[in-house]
Chains A and B, each alone.
Chain A
Amino acid sequence: MIVVGSGLSGAGAASTLGELGYDVHCFCYQDSARRAHSVAAQGGINAAKNYQHDGDSVYRMFYDTLKGGDFRSREANTYRLAELSAPLIDHYVQQGVPFAREYGGTLVNRSFGGVQVQRTFYARGQTGQQLLLATYSQLYKMVKAKKVTMHARSEMMDLVTIDGKAKGIIVRNLVTGQLERYAADAVVLATGGYSRVFRLSTLAIGCNGSAIWKAHKKGAYFAGPSFTQIHPTALPQSSEAQSKLTLMSESLRNDGRIWVPKAKNDTRIANDIPDEERDYYLERRYPSFGNLAPRDIASRAAKERIDAGYGVGRLKNAVYLDFKHAIERLGLETIQDRYGNLFKMYKKITGIDAYKQPMMISPAAHFSMGGLWVDYELMTTVKGLYAIGECNYSDHGANRLGANSLLQASVDGYFILPNTINNYLVGEMKNEHPDTAHSAFDDAEKETKAFIDKILAIDGTKTVDHFHRELGKVMWQECAMSRNEEGLKKAIAQIEQIKTAFWSDVKVTGGDGLNTELEKAYRLADFIELGILMCTDALQRNESCGAHFREEFQSYEGEAVRVDEDYSYVSAWEYNKGDFKLHKEELEFEFVEPTVRSYK
């Protein structure tokens, strides 16, 4: 069994498959499985435990998630996610995750966006880290048991299919540059999100879409590619040279209040602006959810204020997140206990003490709801190829609720895949195990080698980062929080130009051994193609839903207008020699009537 990726879903799947007795090989590009980007999730993980006795239930969580995703996900998948959430918390506690506790020793919860109950479990502002380390521990438990072989610093370069079934991968050893072949009865992709297509995002620098893109080119349909989430509370961009936007956990919105000055170009410092001259725009527009409106809505509302000229900060590209009232109400100590490390991080990066003056935050690319299309068993359209965690399109629809990401990655890896994959393997393992000497491996390896050699041979005049910045600008401008037909058409043409320029003018120095510049280059080559598909998808969907906001489809109040009659389906795109063919999976709602998604 091959598992690509060692984050929550990948390591969870690898360790559990190992427990079931399979011989598992797990791969990651980092130097250790413990670096996977699940580590960076801050706020928490949702579960319908109803520990706070506030009326939570599996049904309510299912409904919140389906509504949060603007009714663009399968009912059954979403229900399963909610159903499995409670045992997942049991599982993590048993693995030694130090979740926050009450003085009496029971588990604490907090709220997250788009939800009116407290169902989020957390470990300070480091929940992702704690879950990942627990999963990494379980992975190494199975390494010790000799059921899992871990390959760090190893990047999947291509998928190998034999008779239309996934039978192996080509891997590049990032230390030696050697291409290696691995064969398996099934291949599981757990390679995370692709929001680095925007270049500036909250993702780790190494996060990439190459594994799923290569799988897509080998026949796996790509679903909802344009559904990418822009997170409302990241640190604003401060310069061109910036490589990354740091996330400030959404949990801050539990106690922080978001505002901008009522007057344009107000140059006073935040603390000098009296309450009546502040516009708490989320509370104004969405009185019942207020600062806890879902991410897509909060981001769009911030963009609306910034674009209208009310932004704050040196580049006027931010809004305030203020804890003054929370500190007055709850005391400094409580706020320190809840968010201490986030405030510390904020100070390290900006030099500002957020206990004394409000934070400045801004929207940033954060998560991809889109990904490889999977069936209920998490298998892609290529037989024997599975996609789990963020790299698939399954539970979140057009927008993901906060603290549902750790949840989905975990249940996919630990609970779902190890059960469903057997249905495929029971037939497959009767056949002979695939052999790396098969000609399909020769072909895939040759193709990969040619791809790398071609990049190294260009010897142009511009760096990889130059092209990535260009791509990022187009994607952020035309395919992020707000999209329109004209802009998307223009974007596709521009990305085509970037693609041509990249393949004729990129310069990569060094050889095909350990070469970080080369790694960036081949990942970017795939991002460029993915960018075209994302814009194609956004252009085709003539409606606004969740994170996909088409300017042509909005109410007079600026809210998204969904067009259920025409677009109540999942768009699954098939790769067709550089072109894309649309397949539609109609969504049937048996239990929930899709309504206008209102948080007012």
Chain B
Amino acid sequence: MKVTFKIWRQEDQNSKGELNTYPVEGLTEDMSFLEALDHLNEELVIKGEEVIAYEYDCREGICGQCGVFINGRAHGPHDHMTTCQLHMRSFKDGDTIVVEPWRAKSFPIIKDLIVDRSAFDRIIEQGAFISSKTGTAPEANAIPIPKAVSDRAMDAAACIGCGACVATCKNSSAALFTSAKINHLNSLPQGKAEQHERVNAMTWQMKEEGFGSCTFTGACEIECPEGISLINIAEMNARKLKSLFFGD
């Protein structure tokens, strides 16, 4: 299998980038997309050129570190899939594949296809935790949690923090990411005590980082590898409103 990659190369945050063209041969359909890039990088090394910088770690769709725009879509042509799970069988022999980094002001480019997503960590830092110290927990079955509640919390908690939601959003909104975490914790009895502070602190930080507002186009839900529902954002807004009345 033979394809032509057009890949964004950029030395660092302050330099100007451009798309470079790389014809690649000798690929097979059962190679993953990242393995095809590995293959290209090995060729570049042999030619004495600098390798393309891109991110990955687990390569099984759970760590959230990989993520690029492929032919104009976050994580490539399929819904609900990470870049590392994409295989070359999704492309045709002779295809041109355009690969770009996540596009969002709050995710500045570090090099080539690598962006800085530390803004997500700072949103988490503001309140995505339950303030109880190690060693102070009550017996696990002391507070029964209905299966439906626990399942809903799990649906939201499944977020892998890849940033595809932000990258695909025309406003670069981080509402899906932030709401998923808020709803995970706020829906559980253990997270209730800090629910109002949490929703306020995290949404405040989201704005502070320069993420845009949500206009409910739903693009994020389609690209989310975990299929986190758009309803989470509505729920976050409701929780925010609730905190105005019931918060401190």
Contact = CB atoms under 8 A, between A and B. Distances in A.
Interface of A: 12, 15-16, 19, 30-35, 37, 39-40, 49, 51, 87, 89-96, 98-107, 123-124, 126, 128-130, 133, 136-138, 140-141, 143-144, 150, 152, 175, 202, 204-206, 238-239, 241-244, 246-247, 345, 348-349, 351, 414-415, 418, 461, 463-466, 507-510, 514-517
A16 B118 CA distance: 23
B34 to A, nearest CB: 7
A35 B56 CA distance: 10
Contact of A31 (B30, B55, B137, B158): B55
Interface in B14-36: 28, 30-32, 34-35
A247 B59 CA distance: 11
Nearest to A124: B154
Contacts of A128: 62
A492 B117 CA distance: 43
Contact of B57 (A95, A152, A204, A507): A204
B60 A106 contact: no
Given A96-B185, A246-B60, A351 B89 contact: yes
A32 B120 contact: yes
A43 to B, nearest CB: 13
B107 to A, nearest CB: 11
B58 A204 contact: yes
B140 A96 contact: no
Contact of B137 (A19, A94, A144, A464): A94
Interface in B79-105: 81, 85, 87, 89
B128 A37 contact: no
Nearest to A247: B60
B55 A243 contact: no
A91 B62 contact: no
Contacts, number: 217
A89 B138 CA distance: 10
Contact of B45 (A130, A143, A463): A463
B141 A463 contact: no
Contacts of B65: 30-32, 35
Given A205-B57, A239-B30, A100 B121 contact: no
A34 B28 contact: no
Contacts of B44: 509
Interface stretch (B108-116, B214-222, B229-237, B239-247): B108-116
A101 B147 contact: yes
Contacts of A202: 60
A218 to B, nearest CB: 27
19 contacts: A34-B63, A94-B138, A95-B129, A101-B147, A102-B147, A105-B145, A124-B154, A126-B62, A137-B124, A137-B130, A138-B134, A141-B125, A175-B110, A241-B35, A345-B60, A349-B87, A463-B45, A509-B45, A516-B51
Contacts of B153: 96, 98
Contacts of A133: 157
B135 A415 contact: yes
A91 B134 contact: yes
A345 B81 CA distance: 10
A126 B157 CA distance: 10
B208 interface: no
Interface residues of B, number: 77
Given A96-B185, A98-B188, A349-B87, A91 B137 contact: yes
A272 B143 CA distance: 49
Closest 7 CB pairs of A and B: A105-B144, A94-B137, A137-B129, A98-B154, A510-B50, A90-B137, A141-B129
Per DSSP, chain B at the interface is: loop
B150 A239 contact: no
Contacts of A98: 150-151, 153-154, 157, 184, 188
A37 B63 contact: yes
A315 B158 CA distance: 35
B62 A39 contact: yes
A242 B205 CA distance: 41
Contacts of A205: 56-59
Contacts of B190: 93-96
Nearest to B153: A98
B35 to A, nearest CB: 5
Contact of B38 (A33, A105, A204, A241): A241
B188 A96 contact: yes
Interface in B40-67: 41-42, 44-46, 48-51, 53-65
A37 B57 contact: yes
A246 B35 CA distance: 14
Nearest to B157: A98
A508 B161 contact: no
B63 A40 contact: yes
B62 A242 contact: no
Given A19-B134, A144-B126, A514-B111, 11 more contacts: A12-B134, A30-B65, A31-B118, A39-B58, A95-B130, A96-B184, A137-B129, A140-B129, A175-B110, A243-B34, A507-B45
B23 to A, nearest CB: 17
B145 A101 contact: yes
B140 A89 contact: yes
A87 B141 CA distance: 11
B36 to A, nearest CB: 8
B119 to A, nearest CB: 10
B30 A238 contact: yes
B170 interface: no
A141 B140 contact: no
A313 to B, nearest CB: 12
Contacts of B130: 94-96, 137
Contacts of A239: 28, 30-31
Contacts of A99: 150
B121 A241 contact: no
B73 interface: no
A572 B171 CA distance: 57
B139 interface: yes
B205 to A, nearest CB: 11
A474 B90 CA distance: 33
A126 B117 CA distance: 23
A209 to B, nearest CB: 16
A137 B128 contact: yes
Contacts of B157: 96, 98, 123, 130, 133
A101 B85 contact: no
B90 to A, nearest CB: 10
A34 B32 CA distance: 24
A206 B57 contact: yes
